[in-house]
Amino acid sequence: AAALATQGELQSALETAQQQLLEVRRGTAAEHERALAEAREHGARDAGVIAAAKREDAVAAMRQQMMEVQLKLQEEVATLKAEATTARLAADARAQENNAAVAHGQARSVEVEALRGKEARLQEQVAELRAQLAKAEQVLVVRDEVESQLRTKAAEGVTALAGARHDASGRLDAATAELRSQLHCAQQRGEDLAAQLEVAQQTQAVARQALPSDVVPTAGGGGGGGG
């Protein structure tokens, strides 16, 4: 679009320059006619000199105008080229911006897809964690029940142990008392046996003393028997 606009402006400038050139030529022709008329009035010789001088002036003026027109055309062409270059650069910049925006959009799409995949994986992990949590809660319930049963059995065991200890202590006390009684009886019997032994020994001693003693032969006694 910028190139077409530049071409149209150049065409318009060219038409303007052609129109100006045509007007210069018309002015030069008019000047020439006036010079010829003046030459006819002043004579053939003077007319030729005047006409030649005016033709030279007209040609010089026409060349000056042509140079001005060419300079103006060159300036307009340079301006149009600069504007076209600026428009092209702006279009390139907009195209680059559009490409960058498209690339950014594609990158964002890739990021969005990656985030969606990550979200799906996180949801799966959350589901797994919830399942594990449910299992852990079931295990905790079972553990609480087992602990409760163990506490009950432990309490029952402690009660039974206390009862057994009490019974054993009672039996031990009874056995100790019986042993002490038996020991006392044994001591008493020992004392009785010791007393009986002492009495028996005394009785034996007395009995020995009461028995008749044997006659023991002596020397004096033999002599008496012979007489």
The pLDDT tens digits of the residues spanning 157-197 come to: 888 888 888 888 888 888 888 888 888 888 888 888 888 88
Question: Is residue 35 a contact partner of residue 54, using CB atoms and an 8 Å limit?
Answer: yes
Q: How many structural domains are present in the chain?
A: 1
Q: Is residue 129 part of a domain?
A: no
Assigned domain for 178 exists: no
Q: Is residue 55 part of a domain?
A: yes
| Paired tokens of 199 | 């009495």
Q: Tell me which residue range forms the domain holding 113.
A: 2-123
Q: What is the pLDDT of residue 223?
A: 43
Q: Report if residue 149 sits inside a domain.
A: no
Residue range 216-222: mean pLDDT, rounded? 42
Distance in angstroms (rounded) separating the CA atoms of residues 82 and 78: 6
pTM confidence score: 0.31
CA atoms within 13 A on the CB side of 1: 3
In a domain, 189, yes or no: no
pLDDT grade for 219, boundaries at 50, 70 and 90: very low
Report how far residue 169's alpha carbon sits from residue 161's, in angstroms, rounded to the nearest whole number. 12
- At residue 139's C-alpha, the angle toward residues 137 and 144, to 5°, is 95
Query: What's at 177, amino acid-wise?
Result: A
Tokens 């020991």 locate to 183
Does some domain include residue 157?
A: no
Q: Mean pLDDT over all residues of the chain?
A: 78
Residue 200 counted as domain residue: no
Q: Decide: 82 and 74 in contact? Cβ < 8 Å.
A: no
Alpha-carbon distances of 58 from 24, 35, 55, 72, rounded to whole Å: 9, 11, 5, 21
